[in-house]
Structure 1
Amino acid sequence: MTDQPRISAFARSLFGPREPLLDTVLRDALQTGGLRPMQVDDNAARVLQLLTLLHRPRRVLEIGTFFGFSAIHIARGLPDGGRLSTLEVDADVAATARRNLAAAGVADRVDVVVGPAADHLRTLAPLSVDMVFIDAEKTAYPEYLGLAYPALAVGGLLIADDALLRGDFSVEGDEAARSAISTYLRAVARSDHLFSALIGTDNGLLVSLKH
Structure 2
Amino acid sequence: MTTLPTSYMRTILGPRDPALEAVLRESLLERHMPTIQIDDNAGRVLQLLTTLRRPRRALEIGTLFGYSTVHIARGLPEDGRLTTLEIDPEAAALARRNLRAVGVEDRVDVVVGDALEHLATVPEASLGLVFIDGDKKSYPAYLKAVYPLLEPGGLVIADDAFAEGDFSAESEASADPEREARAIHTYNRAVCRSPRLFSAFIGTENGLLVSYKG
Q: Which TM-score bucket, shorter chain as reference?
A: over 0.9
TM-score, normalisation: structure 1: 0.96
Structure 2 SS opposite 1:125: coil
The answer on 1:180 being equivalent to 2:183 is yes
Q: Residue 139 of structure 2 is aligned with which of 135, 138, 141?
A: 141
Equivalenced residue count is 209
- Sequence identity (%): 58
Which blocks of at least 5 consecutive residues in structure 2 are unaligned? 170-174
> Equivalents in 2 of 1:167, 1:24: separation in Å?
26
Counterpart selection for 1:99 from 97, 100, 122: 97
Deviation for aligned residue 1:7? 3.6
Write the deviation string for residues 150-200 of structure 1: whole angstroms up to 9, x where unpaired: 101110001000011122123422111101101100101100000001000
Counterparts of 2:49 and 2:5, CA distance in 1: 18
Q: 2:200 aligns with which of 187, 197, 200?
A: 197
State the alpha-carbon separation in 2 of the partners of residues 117 and 170 from structure 1. 19
- Partners of 1:59 and 1:168 in 2: how far apart? 31
User: Equivalents in 1 of 2:6, 2:17: separation in Å?
Assistant: 15
Structure 1 residue aligned with 2:168 = 170
| Matched-pair contact (CA < 8 Å) for 1:63–1:88 | yes
Could you tell me which runs of 5 or more consecutive residues in structure 1 were left unpaired when the two chains were aligned: none
Distance in 1 of aligned mates of 2:193 and 2:54 = 26
Are the equivalent residues in 2 in contact too, given 1:8–1:42 (CA < 8 A)?
Answer: no
CA deviation after TM superposition for structure 1 residue 149, in Å: 0.6
Amino acid at match of 1:176: R
CA drift of 1:30 comes to 1.2
